Amino acid sequence: IYTYLNKEILFLEKNMELELWNIFQSSRGANATMILSVTIGIWIAARFASVARENDAPVLMKAIISIFALSGFAFGWMVITRAVNSWVVQATALSDLRESGTELSPIASQYVEMYGGEFMTNPGPIGMAYLISGLLIALLPLWLKDNK
C-alpha cells in the first residue's frame, strides 16, 4: 500500500509510522538531558542555600541565591512542559497519519488515545510537585530561622 505525499515522493505507509517512532525516540534523549540539567540546577541552588545559611550570608547574597532558585524553577517548568508536550506532538503526528488513510499498529492507536489532545501549559502534577519541592528545599532553609 502506497501513499502519495506529492507527485514526486512515494512512501510505504508502514515505514511512516516507524519513522515517526524513530523521531520521537530521538527527542527523548534530548528531553532526558534537559531534565537532568534541571535536577542538577535544583541541587546547585539547594547547595548554595545551605552554604549561605551555614556562613550566615548577608541579605543580598540570599536574594541572589533566591533569584537563581526561582530562575531554575521557571526553567524547569519550561523544560518539563516541553518534554510532556513531545508526547502530544507524537500522538498528533500518528493521528494525522491515521487520518491520511494509513492503518496504525495497535500500540500506535492506543498511544493516540492516551496522549492525544491539547498541548499542556504546565508540567503535570508530578512535574509540579518535583519543581515546587525543589524550590522549597532551596528557599526555606535560606530564609527561615532555626528554632535553636
Task: Quick: pLDDT tens for 25-41.
Answer: 999 999 999 999 999 99
Q: For residue 97, which of 21, 27, 7, 25 has the smallest C-alpha distance?
A: 21
Tell me phi and psi for residue 117, to 5 degrees. 140, -155
Q: For residue 131, which of 64, 80, 68 has the smallest C-alpha distance?
A: 80
User: Residue 129 CB: number of other CB atoms within 10 A?
Assistant: 11
Residue matched to cell numbers 538531558: 33
Q: For residue 37, which of 69, 65, 79, 84 has the smallest C-alpha distance?
A: 79
What is Dmax (Cα atoms) for the chain? 78
The Cα–Cα gap between 6 and 84 comes to 32
SS (H, E, C) 7-18: CCCEEEHHHHHH
Q: Please, is 41 exposed, middle or buried when counting C-beta atoms within 10 Å of its C-beta (0-12, 13-18, 19+)?
A: buried
Beta carbons within 8 Å of 46's beta carbon, 6+ residues apart: 134, 137, 138
Residue matched to cell numbers 498528533: 92
pLDDT in 10s for each residue of the chain, 148 residues: 445 555 444 445 557 888 899 999 999 999 999 999 999 999 999 999 999 999 999 999 999 999 999 999 999 999 999 999 999 999 999 999 999 888 888 999 999 999 999 999 999 999 999 999 999 999 999 998 776 6
Share of the chain above pLDDT 90, in %: 78
**pTM beyond 0.85, yes or no:** no
